[in-house]
Each structure stands twice: as structure tokens, then as C-alpha cells.
Amino acid sequence: MTRSTAEHRWQADLSPQPTVLAGVDLPERFGDGLGGEADLEELGRLVETAGGVVVGEVRQRRERPAPGTFLGKGKLEELRAVVAATGARLVVFDNELSPAQARNLEKALGGDGRDGAGGVSVLDRTELILDIFARHARTRQARLQVELAQLQYLLPRLRKLWSHLERQGGGIGTRGPGETQLETDRRLVDRRIAQLKRELAEIAASRRVQSRRRRNEYTVALVGYTNAGKSTLMRALTGADVLVEDQLFATLDATTRRVEVDERRCFLLTDTVGFIRRLPHHLVESFRATLQEVSESDLLLHVVDAASPRRDEQIAAVDAVLRDLTPPDQPRLLVLNKIDRLDPDALAALRNRHAGRDDVVLVSALAPEGAAAVRSAVLERLRSTESVARLLLPVHRRDLVAAFHRTGSVLEESHGDDGCRLTVRLRPGELARLLRREPAVRRLD
């Protein structure tokens, strides 16, 4: 696991670490995005995804965190007792800790876990998520994005790493080697961050070129809370052999596949990284190159785990991230997935709640009719982007009729001495492309 990339690491070859969860419920108004109740159930799933085993939990409600240890004195004693009783080697907080708070907690719990003598390590939610992303990064782009997020998280915490080298006391002659090392490390980290940003900018530029090449095609992006079933739905729609695992953040890389919806129409479907409540800001910024696919899509399929008891909270969490990434008027389709996990009464209530809405579809991605329903809904929206045009093709270029049959719907076709008259229905971009390629074709409307 990552303690600012340099301190704590979970080794993949070690047995699962016994872990205690901790969280502080804070008022919604509390600043820095830390307000709200801790979600220890979700935190437990994150720990399991990272290879840990949850053996206990501690929760406290406070108006504001304790400055030194985040938890109050009494609750810290309770946490120490739970750690001792369970033999836990790791404590993970659902909140974000300052470097000083993490260090104080480790000391209070019996060490920092780096000496091999049974000490206890303390991680916060952001470090845990960064570790999971690092484990799941497979492509060069994903690895660069995760490293950038880790270094951005590390930079303000560097002082803590070198505190063991600093001299005690103050005044003249007390400048210790730790400060010199700190300045050196900051320069190295700044230099690496700049390099990573340059490399990611090059990848983003390459993606923009690819995007321009397919701008005439209808594009759809899958978005949603992590583990909502986006990759399962993509496999059902495309038949592509994409990774499907019952884990949080199983997919980090944008994957695009073509989906045929009828004999003339198709769309490009892109699966993206899953979102989560309080997704670390550094990760959102680092993954902008990947999430570019979302902002430029013609349609967003917001996939939701309909069986989750926190369904509405998860929808709100995804909407909060999308507000910073997408245009406000971008078309969306809400896909309520996993309805096969609902009992009949709950399913009926969900259907009644969304009755009459054309922007919601209830499906199970595991059932053939689920993929068919989504494909049909996308086709309906694709058709709504098409327009009707009347064209005149020269007598000597009647071969072009086949091109309009391939790319759109030919509604009327008649032949005369002046050429072939067509009434066609197709997307404006595709029509413009064909007219540029074939200047002999004239529009009659």
C-alpha cells in the first residue's frame, strides 16, 4: 500500500493483512470535501480489493476532527484495544489524514510497521485508492496517470518522510541535513511531475487525433459508480473480451468497441474508469486524458447498480464528478442494471418510480434482453440526431446511390434525365463528409 509512495507498501506475495477500519462522521458543512458520514462498508470493499482482510471497525461522530489524531482520546483508546484484540497490522481511515495525524496515530497504536517488529501502519482513504489504482494499471497511460496522482499526493507530505533526519532545537547552526534532503526531493518530484504531464499531454494529443478521425460516428460512453456493471454491459453489447471482475476499479483504461445496431447504423462504445464517492481530486485530474472520451461523447450511458442500498447516493456521486467533466446539456441515458438481484416488490417499485421516463432503462446486463433493450434505446437516440435531405446525383454517378444506402436510410429514390433524386436520412456529419468527398452531388433543400 502507498504511504505517499515511499513509506508503506503491501507486497503482493504476502498473505492478506488483517485490517481495522476507522471513520469519523462529520457534518455535511465540514470543509475540504470531508463532510458526511463515513462509509465503512464501501471502505471494506476497497480493502478487500487491495488484498486485505477486515477484522474490525471503529466509528465516531464529531463536529470536527481532533487536531492531533483525528479521533478523540476515548475513541483512540477503543481503536487501540480493537487492534490489540484482532492482531491487526493495518488501520485504514475513511477520511483523509494529514501527515502529522497519520504519524501520531501510528505512534499511539504501537509503531509505524516499517521495522518488521509488528508495528501498525495507518493509511487514509486516498492512499488506499491510489494503491488500488497502482495495482490495476496495465497500460502505459494508466501507469503514468497513477504515478502522477501519487506524486501530487506525495509532494506536500515530503517533510514527514525526512523528519527522522532533522536536528532538534532552533536558531543559528540548527539547519539539519533533513531540510537539504527535503529540498532535493522536492526538486526531483517537481521534475518528474512535469515530465509525466508532458507525456500525458502527448497521449491526449494522440487521442484527439483519433477522435477527429471518427467524429462523424456516433459515440457512446459508459460511466457509473465502480462495480456497477459497466464492463459486463460492454461485453454483452459488443461481444468483446473485456475484463469483468467483481472488484472495485477493475477497469482503468478506456476501451472502445464498435456496436452494430441495424443493417446501416452502428456506434462506438467506450468503457471508462469507475467513479466513487470522494474520488481523490488528484486522480480525476490525472485521468483527464482517459476521461476525455466521456466529455466528447454524443451520449452517456450512466450505469447504476439498481440493487445497491446506496443507489441514490452513488448516482449523486457520479453526477458530482461529471459536472466538472461534461457539458451540462450532454444527453444521458440512466441504465439501472442488476435488476435480477431485486425481489419482485422492489423491482415493481423501481418500475413505478421511473414509469413514463424515456431516459431510463431497467436491465440485467447478464440477460440477452438486457443488452437488446440498451441497444434499442441507443438506436432511438441515434436516429434523433439524423436529418432528412434531398439530393441530386449526376447521371454518370448513379453508383453513389449505394454509398447513401450504406451510411443512412434512403427514403425515396427516383431517376430522371437530369440524374437520380434521393431523399435520405442520416447524421449531419456523415452527410457533410459525403458531400465534401463527392462535390458533384447537389442538395435540393
Percent of the chain exceeding pLDDT 90 equals: 31
pLDDT of residue 133: 81
Q: Is it the case that residue 71 has pLDDT exceeding 80?
A: yes
pLDDT grade for 93, boundaries at 50, 70 and 90: very high
Average of per-residue pLDDT across 70-87: 94
Average of per-residue pLDDT across 263-284: 80
Average of per-residue pLDDT across 117-122: 74
**Widest distance between CA atoms in the chain:** 100
pLDDT in tens, 290-307: 677 788 889 999 999 999
Average of per-residue pLDDT across 329-337: 95
pLDDT in tens, 21-62: 999 998 877 766 667 788 898 899 889 888 889 999 999 999
Q: Is it the case that residue 431 has pLDDT exceeding 80?
A: yes
Q: Is it the case that residue 224 has pLDDT exceeding 70?
A: yes
pLDDT of residue 249: 56
pLDDT of residue 20: 95
CATH number of 18-135: 3.40.50.11060
Q: Is it the case that residue 286 has pLDDT exceeding 90?
A: no
- CB count in 10 Å sphere of residue 185: 17
Average of per-residue pLDDT across 240-269: 69
pLDDT grade for 377, boundaries at 50, 70 and 90: very high
Domain 217-384: which CATH class?
A: alpha beta
233 contacts 337 by C-beta, under 8 angstroms: yes
Cell of 180: 537539504
pLDDT of residue 442: 86
Handedness of CA 176, 123, 8, 132 (dihedral sign): negative
Q: H helices within 109-250, ranges in order?
A: 125-136, 140-154, 158-161, 177-213, 230-238
- CB count in 10 Å sphere of residue 259: 21
Q: Is it the case that residue 66 has pLDDT exceeding 80?
A: yes
Buried b (16+ CB within 10 A) or exposed e, 350-387: beeeeeeeeebbbbbbbeeebbebbbebbbebbeeebe
Residue 141: helix, strand or coil by DSSP? helix
pLDDT of residue 351: 94
pLDDT of residue 397: 79
Q: What DSSP assignment string belongs to 21-87?
A: EEEEEB-TT-TTTT-B---HHHHHHHHHHTT-EEEEEEEEE-SS-BTTTBS-HHHHHHHHHHHHHHT
Place of cell 492482531: 87
pLDDT grade for 241, boundaries at 50, 70 and 90: low
pLDDT grade for 245, boundaries at 50, 70 and 90: low
Distances in Å between the alpha carbon of 444 and those of 418, 423, 435? Answer: 13, 10, 12
Say which DSSP state 191 is in. Answer: H
pLDDT of residue 118: 52
Segment among 4-8, 42-46, 350-354 with least mean pLDDT: 4-8
d(CA 49, CA 246): 9
Buried b (16+ CB within 10 A) or exposed e, 294-333: bebbbbbbbbbbbbbeebebbbebbeebbeebbeeebebb
Residue 175: helix, strand or coil by DSSP? coil
Q: Angle 335-336-339 (CA atoms, 0-180°, nearest 5)?
A: 140
Q: Find, among 212, 250, 208, the residue nearest to 228 by Cα.
A: 250
Average pLDDT, the chain: 81
d(CA 111, CA 372): 56
Query: Where do the DSSP E strands lie in 208-343?
Result: 219-224, 255-260, 266-271, 299-305, 332-337
pLDDT in tens, 130-175: 888 888 777 788 788 888 888 888 887 775 444 444 444 443 443 4
Q: Is it the case that residue 67 has pLDDT exceeding 50?
A: yes
136 contacts 283 by C-beta, under 8 angstroms: no
Percent of the chain exceeding pLDDT 70 equals: 82
Q: Are strands 219-224 and 266-271 parallel, antiparallel or unpaired?
A: parallel
Cell of 199: 507525456
pLDDT of residue 361: 96
The alpha carbon torsion through 108, 110, 115, 121 (nearest 10 deg) reads -60
d(CA 150, CA 301): 30
pLDDT of residue 371: 92
Cell of 257: 468497441
- CB count in 10 Å sphere of residue 217: 14
Q: Is it the case that residue 415 has pLDDT exceeding 60?
A: yes
CATH topology of domain 387-443: Alpha-Beta Plaits (3.30.70)
pLDDT of residue 335: 97
Chain length of the chain: 445
d(CA 400, CA 422): 11
d(CA 322, CA 311): 17
pLDDT of residue 176: 45
pLDDT in tens, 168-217: 444 344 344 445 667 777 888 889 999 998 988 888 777 766 665 556 68
pLDDT in tens, 197-209: 898 888 877 776 6
